[in-house]
Amino acid sequence: MANIPLERIRNIGISAHIDSGKTTLTERILFYTGRIREIHEVRGKDGVGATMDSMDLEREKGITIQSAATYAMWAGSKEQFVAEPYNINIIDTPGHVDFTIEVERSLRVLDGAILVLDSVAGVQSQSITVDRQMKRYGVPRICFVNKMDRAGANYLRCAEMLKEKLGHHAVPMQVNMGAEDKFMGVIDPIDGRAFFFDGEKGEDVRVEAVPAEYAEETRKRREQIIEMVAEVDDQLAEKFIGGEAVTAEELRAAVRRATIALKMTPVMCGSAYKNKGVQVLLDAVCTILPSPPEVQNIALDQRNSEEKVILESVPNKAFVGLAFKLQQDQYGQLTYFRIYQGTVKTGDTIINCSRGQKKERVPRMFRMHSDRREEISEARCGDIVALYGVEATSGDTFTDPSIYYTLTSMHVPDAVISLAVSPKERAGEANFGKALNRFTKEDPTFRVHRDEESGQTIISGMGELHLDIYMERMRREYDCEVVSGKPQVAYRETITQRGEFAYTHKKQTGGSGQFARVCGYLEPLPSDAVLQYEFVNETVGGSIPKEYIPGIEKGFNEAVKKGSLIGFPVVGIRCVVNDGDYHDVDSSEQAFKTAAIMAFREGYESAKPVVMEPVMKVEVRAPSEFQGSVVGQVNQRRGVIQETSTAENYVTVVAEVPLNTMFGYSTDLRSATQGKAEFSMEFARYSPVPRGEQDLLMKQYKDKQAAELAARK
């Protein structure tokens, strides 16, 4: 591990829409690199399941739930790297939007990625989400158009969709020899070689001259590659404009420069399931995607006013690493680390800079191969490893004690659905608490809180499947049966206009009283504002002494947690205090906090508050004959059709639909389409609910409050 040159390390993720073939592709990569001896399918008849799907639930459902890390050595499809093979660290990520945090935290620590597309469906809704995540962290990528053996496969149409839907400068790097059931292999136009994949499992790569029937197409594709890469690479542009000949080495170097600079996306093709094209894709990972030293990572120096520091992938510098994933097993907490700078050894003392420089000792360290571990004593920059016995949460920065740096954490999306849960048997309460504690540490999008009024335990997450999986895991891993209430949508409240307030809080008791006066206004924040709540102090002339301002801020902070319409958090609001009054004896921070809470309620009433509901982007794919049924169902659920497209006798309907109307949709869709349709959904935005719906929600909230009040009496 320590002998591999840094320039020959690749840290990559494999991401895509659900059912695009990510896990199948990873299985082939592991087989061709010699990491496994047998290929197992995602829903294989042998009952073993794919290597990277280590959870029983993953194998039963045929989906990836947790991201899984592994590594492999690759010496090239025709032994061109054999003198010095490449070490490829791989993270296989889920495709289902409910587990999007697994993709988020994986892309945060990776240097490159493979974006997998279905050759028939092309760019789908989750492809767009994954691409947005890659752009957020500046991850260069290669696109692999998978399933070229499927009826309706179209390599060039997928490349065009990358340009149209994702805004990529997509460059098709190959010529596919046939498609659908006639797919034979791929041609590399850069140096004019045809690749065939022989043997029972495609393990024998046969390289030949380009077949005569593809010669002209190959020549045109090479010219197209030169022209398209020259648009985004100045060095190649000079040769292209000058009419000079471009060698294969010069063209490959230009492709690499442009890809790492995020100016282009190379597009390749193959069929992982049919064992074609994977080895050539591995060659491209090694020759196109960046090594750790070629990626700039920035830390903030906490001892120097958070000055930006560029981390160096140098083994002899001070250690800097990021904990990006936690996993609990029978031996304790396993913390996954990406090491950005320096070296760490077992027995070393490192500090958690995200937790006030808390010291931790490194007891044991492993390289991971799905759920299997290989113990190591040393890891260095560029490596992805797992440590036992280190207390951390996702996104914590760890460093050598000599420095105090922090890295930016990963983006964590808001939960969109909640359930009231409780253990079925009283005896299961202890395990119920342990399970919730563990799952909230492992998954930042899984949240738990106790409703103080009802006394219920509320779990929140990214969708029905997300919460179902955790309830099933409680039953299997903790022997704790769970009962759940009706799914509760995570509504929000906001205001639509400015609302003034001028509230005086007076209370006189036997001793000193309470006095505070708070004046100002509430106003809506712009729709594109980063923050959802903002407090502004505009008082002048000492109308309110500055020592009472924190009390006012605390009051507003508390008030926005629960709106008066239906009791959900208030977002998109700015609270401005511009005047007030105080009493020399009776004023206190607590008095101003109380005044701020009451002032907020006063201003809120006059600011025309509304209830907001989560709206989901829903993509339905069904045979064209069912288009009317699909559109009709979407309309019944208050959905707004964004786009419809037809290809190969299948219709794709993209719509925005309120989450509250989507419960039970999968059953209805299957019934209406004879089980032939599939759909995916992801959070799009918050939008005001219709007036009638809002009135109903407010009535339900008032009835609930009245019932709770009566129960207390």
Identify which of 39, 38, 85, 106 has the alpha carbon closest to the alpha carbon of residue 285.
85
Q: Considering all CA atoms of the chain, what is the largest pairwise distance in Å, rounded to the nearest integer?
A: 102
If pLDDT is split at 50, 70 and 90, which confidence band does 662 have? confident
Identify which of 416, 604, 606, 596 has the alpha carbon closest to the alpha carbon of residue 494.
604
If pLDDT is split at 50, 70 and 90, which confidence band does 46 have? very low
Task: Give the lowest-confidence range in 92-101, 401-410, 485-494, 500-509.
Answer: 92-101
Decide: residue 449, CB within 10 A, 0-12 exposed, 13-18 middle, 19+ buried.
Answer: exposed
| pLDDT tens string 497-514 | 999 999 999 887 656 778
Dihedral sign from CA coordinates of 602, 606, 607, 613: positive
If pLDDT is split at 50, 70 and 90, which confidence band does 44 have? very low
Over residues 180-204, mean pLDDT: 92
Strongest mean pLDDT among 67-76, 397-406, 675-684? 397-406
Mean pLDDT of the chain: 87
- The residue among 460 and 414 whose pLDDT is bigger is 460
The pLDDT assigned to 42 comes to 59
Please state the three-class secondary structure of 573-586 as a single string: EEEEEEEEECCCCC
C-alpha triplet 22, 24, 25: angle, nearest 5° = 65
Strongest mean pLDDT among 203-217, 457-471, 532-546, 638-652? 203-217
Over residues 410-438, mean pLDDT: 84
| pLDDT tens string 314-325 | 888 999 999 888
- The residue among 331 and 158 whose pLDDT is bigger is 158
- How much is the CA Rg of the chain, to the nearest whole Å? 29
Q: Would you say residue 357 has pLDDT above 70?
A: yes
What pTM, to 2 d.p., does this model score?
0.74
- The residue among 170 and 546 whose pLDDT is bigger is 170
The pLDDT assigned to 145 comes to 96
Structure tokens at 350: 């490192």
Query: With contact defined as beta carbons under 8 Å apart, do 186 and 238 qualify?
Result: no
Q: Would you say residue 94 has pLDDT above 80?
A: no
The pLDDT assigned to 45 comes to 45
Q: Would you say residue 601 has pLDDT above 90?
A: yes
Over residues 338-364, mean pLDDT: 89
Strongest mean pLDDT among 7-11, 21-25, 385-389, 709-713? 7-11
Identify which of 346, 414, 421, 325 has the alpha carbon closest to the alpha carbon of residue 94.
325
Identify which of 262, 247, 250, 254 has the alpha carbon closest to the alpha carbon of residue 230.
254
If pLDDT is split at 50, 70 and 90, which confidence band does 106 have? confident
The pLDDT assigned to 139 comes to 93
The percentage of residues in the chain with a pLDDT greater than 70, rounded to a whole number, is: 93
Task: Give the lowest-confidence range in 78-82, 369-373, 435-439.
Answer: 78-82
The percentage of residues in the chain with a pLDDT greater than 90, rounded to a whole number, is: 42
- CA distances to 108, 318, 359, 398, 399 from 355, in Å: 20, 19, 9, 9, 12
Over residues 235-248, mean pLDDT: 89
The pLDDT assigned to 444 comes to 86
Report the amino acid identity of residue 609.
Answer: P
If pLDDT is split at 50, 70 and 90, which confidence band does 546 have? confident
Separation of alpha carbons 558 and 566, rounded Å: 16
Over residues 67-95, mean pLDDT: 77
| pLDDT tens string 197-234 | 998 888 899 999 999 999 999 999 999 999 999 999 99
Residue 51: φ, ψ to 5°: -55, -40
- CA distances to 387, 451, 531, 596 from 559, in Å: 42, 16, 17, 8
Q: Would you say residue 47 has pLDDT above 50?
A: no
> Distance from CA of residue 363 to its chain's centroid?
30
Q: Would you say residue 364 has pLDDT above 90?
A: no
Q: Would you say residue 660 has pLDDT above 90?
A: no
Q: Which residues are CB-neighbours of 476 under 8 A, at least 6 positions away?
A: 56, 57
Over residues 376-383, mean pLDDT: 90
Over residues 664-681, mean pLDDT: 79
Identify which of 627, 633, 689, 630 has the alpha carbon closest to the alpha carbon of residue 658.
689
The pLDDT assigned to 233 comes to 92
The pLDDT assigned to 228 comes to 95
C-alpha triplet 378, 381, 382: angle, nearest 5° = 110
Q: What share of the chain is helix, strand, coil (3-state, %, to 5)?
A: 30, 35, 35
CB count in 10 Å sphere of residue 391:
14
The pLDDT assigned to 424 comes to 86
The pLDDT assigned to 85 comes to 86
Dihedral sign from CA coordinates of 543, 548, 553, 557: negative
The pLDDT assigned to 417 comes to 78
Over residues 120-132, mean pLDDT: 85
Over residues 463-491, mean pLDDT: 85
The pLDDT assigned to 48 comes to 47
For helices 234-241 and 248-260, the axis angle rounded to 10 degrees is 140
The pLDDT assigned to 50 comes to 58
Over residues 636-657, mean pLDDT: 89
Separation of alpha carbons 263 and 255, rounded Å: 10
The pLDDT assigned to 1 comes to 47
